[in-house]
Structure 1
Amino acid sequence: MNYTTKDIQKRVDDYISQFKEGYFSPLSLQARLTEEVGEMAREINHRYGEKPKKSTEEDKALEEELGDVIFVLTCFANSLDIDLSNAFEQSMSKIETRDKDRWTRKEGGMKGE
């Protein structure tokens, strides 16, 4: 299934809205996001780094860890009434301007050029 950021934000909000507790505070969400990114980093280190898993450790999919990061990041955005599409657009515009000459371009440049 292909989701837009709007779809993702609505699905997360529909889920969280079922519960009286609602979204965690921004500080708790930051801690949770850090935890999820750490779990993703651990999985990457096991797969591509020098630290193999212990035989007792569960094999988690990197895709699952990335999904957890997206879920918590979406909770964060929703709790602060931030549109992820707008946040992404602001970030890409900044990066495309700031870093336009930072890297060696492939022949043909960017799509649409």
Structure 2
Amino acid sequence: MRTNHTNYNTQEIQQRVDSYISQFKEGYFSPLSLMARLTEEAGELAREINHYYGEKPKKSTETKKTVEEELGDIVFVLTCFANSLDINLSEAFEQSMSKIETRDKDRWTKK
């Protein structure tokens, strides 16, 4: 994990994305469009994973991208989604982790 850039908390991420999107009349895309965009970005991540860790190397003519770049794109789109629906990402994450920590606490072999 690279740490040469600023570390943002979720509130700062949401504020930065909102500042960017708010400068345009169009604003946030609709939830359906954001879902399509998220699916597209997940596909791009899958393609990069397949190039780096799978059996399908890149063609010499393909643009060099990274898994890190694709994950960043997904964070951006997820943040747009949360902002457009007035969802606090920290609260959503806490709900998810609480559920997982309870449901899966004995599911895996502990170190």
Is 1:42 the equivalent of 2:47? Answer: yes
Identify which of 62, 69, 75 aligns with 1:70. 75
Letter in 1 for 2:87: I
Letter in 2 for 1:6: Q
Gaps of 5+ in 2: 1-5
Is 1:13 the equivalent of 2:12? Answer: no
Matched with 1:2 is 7
Instruction: Give the drift of 1:82.
Output: 0.3
Q: How big is the alpha-carbon RMSD for the aligned residues of Structure 1 and Structure 2?
A: 0.5
Distance in 2 (alpha carbons) for counterparts of 1:14 and 1:56: 36
Gaps of 5+ in 1: 107-113
TM-score by length of 1: 0.92
Instruction: Give the drift of 1:61.
Output: 1.4
TM-score by length of 2: 0.94
Q: How does 1:45-64 map to 2 (within 5 A)?
A: 45-64=50-69
Instruction: Give the drift of 1:55.
Output: 1.4
Letter in 2 for 1:10: Q
Letter in 2 for 1:85: S
Q: Which runs of 4+ in 1 moved over 3 A?
A: none
- Counting aligned pairs with the same residue, the percent is 82
Is 1:29 the equivalent of 2:37? Answer: no
- SS where residue 11 of structure 2 aligns? helix
- SS where residue 96 of structure 1 aligns? helix
* Structure 1 range deviating more: 47-56 or 71-80: 47-56
